[in-house]
Amino acid sequence: MFFCLKYFCMGDKLKELTDKLYSEGLQKGKQEAEELLEKAKIEAGRIVAEAKNMAAEIEHAAKKRSEEMKANADAEIKLAGRQVVSEVKQTLENLIITAAVSNDIKNAFNDIAFVQSLIKSAVEKFDLKNSETPDLFVIIPQEKQKEFSEYICGKVSQGLASPLEIKIDGDLKSGFKIGSKSDGYYISFTDGEFENLFKASLRSKVSELLFGNKL
């Protein structure tokens, strides 16, 4: 009987100890779980904050890049537009100037008498009569050799201090060239040279008439 009572008392104490250990373990586990949960919440908050900051930075960078690309595209479009306008204006100017002078100049240089008079005027400008060592030469087209040679020998060379040398150029199609051997230069009087000269002098006037010189 005493043994049973003792065993019963020991069982109660064991149960009480077990319950206490369980209760303390449960309480400790619960506390640790709460601490872990709190830490997890803090870590999650930090991660979310970093993610938001990163997203904001990416959005800002993307917006800035988009604005830069738009600005560059606008600048390129404006530049291309100005180039197109400039090219169109130059084309119009060239068409008008060419129509105004090209045909007339080509017709003039096909006129033998006109070119002959130019040769005479050019030679007179060199004033060979006052030259001690005249060395003037005239280059004429092979296709018009007969007409120009006869005119130079008959009317241009008369009264000169020294004979005027005549050279033939098979590549020269119109006009003539005149120069000095000692000075080492010549001046070209061709339809192309005159056309370029007239185009250069007319370009600014045509541009002003068409566009008011505003590019």
Cα dihedral sign for 197, 203, 205, 210? positive
pLDDT at residue 119 in the model: 87
Q: How far apart are CA 171 and CA 190, in angstroms?
A: 12
Q: What is the mean pLDDT of residues 69-74?
A: 80
pLDDT at residue 147 in the model: 87
Q: How far apart are CA 154 and CA 168, in angstroms?
A: 17
pLDDT at residue 215 in the model: 46
Q: How confident is the model at residue 54 (pLDDT cuts 50, 70, 90)?
A: confident
pLDDT of 35 above 70:
yes
- 3-state DSSP assignment of residue 178: strand
pLDDT at residue 11 in the model: 58
Strands (E), 62-215: 136-141, 165-169, 176-180, 185-189
Q: How confident is the model at residue 2 (pLDDT cuts 50, 70, 90)?
A: very low
Mean pLDDT value across the chain: 76
- Asked which of 69-73, 76-80, 160-164, 169-173 is least confident by mean pLDDT, the reply is 160-164
Question: Could you tell me if residue 185 is left (phi over 0), alpha (psi between -120 and 50 degrees) or otherwise beta?
Answer: beta
CB 121 within 8 A of CB 155: no
pLDDT of 41 above 60:
yes
Tokens of 111: 């006129």
- 115-141 pLDDT, tens digit per residue, is 888 888 888 877 555 555 567 889 899
Residues in the chain: 215
- 82-95 pLDDT, tens digit per residue, is 776 677 667 766 66
pLDDT of 77 above 70:
yes
Residue 13 carries which side chain, given as an amino acid letter? K
